């Protein structure tokens, strides 16, 4: 039987007057949690934990409302594993959809008799639903439904459904602002993904893997601005292509894109190269010369391998970034420039700052909008996609009819670690196309470096090191879980990492966090 509660709650005084001491204590604890300056998702997860441990409201779920489609989609859950799930409720669909559409709370005394309950997460498929009650209330902020809060409770523990709904509504009122902001954050993330997928930054950049889709989204987001960009990633990942894509998709695309390889310029010439010089400024300066910054005026300058600049060159570059003007070598005239700066490096500049190899103030000037380019081994199926792309490219250039890759060659590609990344893959394909006399690239067309395997000694040493690290990691996580009573959010904070990483490590190392909870009597086995 489904029961819809239409009772409205005019104010906090009315809500608080009908609650028990334990319920008031719970609301106070939740208010304190929401007042803490921390990640919204973590806050809301802790609130659901409090509902479970203090009120017996299990399998708590928070769904956010899509303002355009009016659909509710599941964002956060407790006691339910929703990793990889995409659970949505259309307006009026199921209990959650009805509450989202009407803005009215609903309660089900016996889930076993409720035909409208969908259980999209599958969390209750192994439970006796007849023993469960289900509570669902809207989350309202500024007179608008922004989400839905729901939970189960053991039916025998429910004395008054109206009282339970009143309590859950009070919790929903406390979390309303946090849920509203959380919804805006997620909406922005979704919009960035849509923008990234609809605006391909460049036809020269190939990739359908999630890491590359994230990169495309960031390129699309930053292109329209004048923000300074720092592109990081291993050698051969395509940093120059990303810089070119940002420039070509920006309002500056009609202006010049000037590329400077900082690693190739001697220290004695860096100032002259970047800022120009007057005739006679130094021995051999027979003519006046414009610097790269002046050439890039109205456009973009791409400082490749910026991490290789000497300390003296870093000081001069920092001054230009701060003042947007400079003096050519040997000149008294001051040149003002309107230049967008994109820098790239394969170094870890944060480590270089600690070793005093790179200036911290210059790093912060460059690192306004960082974009990390994943290595080829992080891009999964992109390896074969890129291989096909290069086969077409070099077949056309060489006038050959090579069209495909044999299964044996594909296995070699997927097992190789690609230290040279996309550039190494391109070189391999160019060689293979040149050697092939058929329409297929086979494994024997590939360079010897791709056939080299790890020796047994290397594998043994790696295995031994991995085992030691894993054992230390396991011990550290177990100690922290014991200290935090099995609270993964607190454990992540203690260890200086994120909850997502802790969850991944716990699953990988086979640790059961429930063993460390201070009270196990109410824990479910539905995860």
Distance CA 189, CA 196 (A): 10
What the block records as the tokens of 90 is 């259309």
Residue 129, pLDDT above cutoff 70: yes
What the block records as the tokens of 133 is 């009650």
Q: Which residues of 92-126 are buried (b: 16+ CB within 10 A; e: fewer)?
A: ebbbbbbbbbeebbbbbeebeebeebeebbebbee
Distance CA 42, CA 499 (A): 8
What the block records as the tokens of 318 is 């920092």
* pLDDT tens profile 390-425: 999 999 999 999 988 887 788 788 788 899 999 999
Could you give the domains of the chain?
2-190 (3.30.450.40), 210-374 (3.40.50.300), 377-450 (1.10.8.60), 466-516 (1.10.10.60)
What the block records as the tokens of 47 is 């609130």
Distance CA 401, CA 423 (A): 23
User: Roughly what angle, to the nearest 10 degrees, separates helices 161-198 and 40-55?
Assistant: 160
336 — phi, psi (to 5°)? -95, 135
Band of the pLDDT at 517, cuts 50, 70, 90? Answer: confident
**DSSP characters over 164-190:** HHHHHHHHHHHHHHHHHHHHHHHHHHH
Element (H, E) at 301: strand 300-304
Predicted model pTM: 0.50
What the block records as the tokens of 51 is 């509902």
**Which alpha helices (DSSP H) does 284-341 contain, by range?**
292-295, 311-323
**Do the beta carbons of residue 257 and residue 292 sit within 8 Å?**
no
238 — phi, psi (to 5°)? 105, 35
* pLDDT tens profile 61-94: 999 998 777 889 899 999 888 887 788 888 988 8
Cα 11–chain centre separation:
39
C-alpha angle 188-63-89 in degrees, rounded to nearest 5: 100
Band of the pLDDT at 285, cuts 50, 70, 90? Answer: low
Distance CA 461, CA 455 (A): 10
User: Roughly what angle, to the nearest 10 degrees, separates helices 21-34 and 40-55?
Assistant: 170
**Do the beta carbons of residue 302 and residue 249 sit within 8 Å?**
no
Ranges 57-66, 84-93, 378-387, 516-525, most confident:
57-66
Per-residue model confidence (pLDDT) at position 348:
92
User: Roughly what angle, to the nearest 10 degrees, separates helices 161-198 and 21-34?
Assistant: 20
């Amino acid at each position: 039987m489904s029961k819809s509660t239409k009772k409205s709650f005019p104010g906090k005084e009315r809500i608080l007057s009908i609650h028990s001491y334990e319920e008031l204590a719970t609301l106070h604890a939740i208010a304190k949690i929401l007042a803490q300056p921390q990640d919204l998702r973590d806050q809301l997860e802790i609130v659901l934990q409090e509902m479970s441990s203090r009120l017996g409201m299990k399998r708590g779920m928070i769904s956010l409302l899509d303002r355009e489609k009016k659909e509710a989609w599941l964002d956060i859950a407790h006691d339910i594993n929703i990793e990889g799930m995409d659970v949505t409720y259309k307006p009026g669909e199921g209990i959650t959809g009805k509450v989202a559409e009407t803005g009215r709370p609903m309660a089900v005394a016996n889930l076993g008799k409720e035909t409208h309950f969908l259980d999209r997460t599958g969390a209750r498929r192994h439970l006796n639903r007849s023993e469960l009650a289900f509570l669902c209330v809207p989350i309202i902020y500024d007179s608008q439904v922004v989400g839905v809060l729901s939970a189960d409770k053991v039916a025998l523990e429910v004395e008054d459904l109206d009282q339970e709904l009143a309590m859950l509504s009070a919790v929903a009122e406390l979390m309303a602002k946090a849920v509203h902001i959380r919804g805006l954050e997620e909406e922005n993330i979704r919009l960035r993904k849509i923008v990234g997928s609809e605006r391909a930054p460049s036809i020269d950049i190939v990739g359908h893997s999630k890491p590359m889709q994230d990169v495309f989204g960031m390129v699309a987001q930053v292109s329209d601005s004048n923000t300074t960009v720092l592109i990081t990633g291993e050698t051969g990942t395509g940093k120059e292509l990303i810089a070119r894509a940002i420039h070509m998709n920006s309002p500056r695309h009609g202006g010049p894109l000037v590329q400077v390889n900082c690693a190739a310029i001697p220290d004695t010439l860096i100032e002259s190269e970047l800022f120009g010089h007057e005739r006679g400024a130094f021995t051999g300066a027979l003519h006046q010369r414009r610097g790269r910054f002046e050439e890039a005026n109205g456009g973009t300058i791409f400082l490749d391998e910026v991490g290789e600049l000497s300390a003296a060159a870093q000081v001069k570059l920092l001054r230009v970034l701060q003042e947007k003007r400079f003096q050519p070598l040997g000149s008294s005239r001051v040149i003002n420039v309107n230049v967008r700066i994109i820098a790239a490096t394969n170094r870890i500049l944060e480590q270089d700052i600690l070793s005093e190899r790179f200036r911290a103030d210059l790093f912060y000037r460059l690192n306004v909008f960082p974009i990390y380019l994943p290595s080829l081994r992080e891009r999964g199926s992109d390896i074969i996609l890129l291989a096909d792309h290069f086969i077409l490219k070099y077949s056309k250039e060489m006038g050959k009819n090579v069209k495909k890759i044999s299964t044996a060659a594909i296995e070699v590609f997927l097992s190789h670690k690609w230290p040279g990344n996309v550039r190494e893959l391109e070189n391999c394909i160019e060689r293979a196309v040149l050697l092939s006399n058929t329409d297929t690239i086979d494994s024997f067309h590939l360079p010897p470096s791709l056939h080299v395997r790890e020796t047994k000694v290397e594998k043994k040493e790696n295995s031994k090191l991995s085992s030691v690290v894993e054992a230390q990691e396991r011990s550290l996580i177990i100690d922290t879980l014991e200290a935090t009573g099995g609270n993964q959010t607190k454990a992540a904070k203690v260890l200086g990492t994120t909850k997502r990483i802790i969850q991944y490590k716990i699953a990988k190392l086979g640790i059961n966090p429930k063993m460390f909870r201070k009270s196990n009597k109410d824990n479910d086995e539905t995860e």
